[in-house]
Amino acid sequence: MSIAETHGKDLRGPSDSICLGCGLCCDGTLLSHLAVSDESDLGAPLRALGVELIAAAEPPVFELPCPAVADGVCTIHHLHRPRACALFECDLSRRVLDGRLDATIARGIIEEVLDLRTRVERGDAGAEELRDRLRRDFRANI
């Protein structure tokens, strides 16, 4: 079953982005925190959702999962999102954008990783397997 079938939506979006429906960078799977430049970069929509800036960190960060992500999609994308969100590209996305990997294959990888994460959450697979897969496919250069 595809991500689109699982989540009941067209994940290609206007730019055929593999990001829609993935959300691994936003939901705490790939990253634990997101850096922002300041409170204004965090933005009113995230503050309204209860996101608190950890100002003691340099640069300031907020903890993930982001409350604005739902089913792998940013619900405040059209309102305001931190600059880091707009600029972030995982290795998988970068390979698709560079033409080194077909988007259909990338979506298949995303499906496999989302399934693996579910199996880890259920205790049917080991967390180390998920960490290795994330490192290999998504964050070799993060």
CA separation for the pair 8, 47 (Å, rounded): 29
Alpha-carbon torsion (45, 78, 80, 97), positive or negative: positive
Residue 15 has pLDDT above 90, yes or no: no
17/43 same-domain check = no
Strands (DSSP E) contained in 31-141 are 33-35, 61-63, 69-70, 73-74
83/104 same-domain check = no
Final residue of a domain: which of 46, 70, 87? 87
CA separation for the pair 86, 142 (Å, rounded): 16
In sequence order, the β-bridge partners of residue 70 are 73
13/38 same-domain check = no
Q: How many angstroms separate the Cα of 113 from the Cα of each of 27, 52, 90, 104?
A: 13, 29, 14, 14
pLDDT on residue 140: 59
pLDDT on residue 139: 82
14/59 same-domain check = no
Report how many domains make up the chain: 2
pLDDT digits 0-9 by tens, 30-83: 999 999 998 899 999 999 999 999 988 999 999 999 999 999 999 999 999 999
13/61 same-domain check = no
For the residues 110-131, what does the mean pLDDT come to? 97
20/56 same-domain check = no
Identify the domain containing residue 52 by its residue range: 31-87
10/41 same-domain check = no
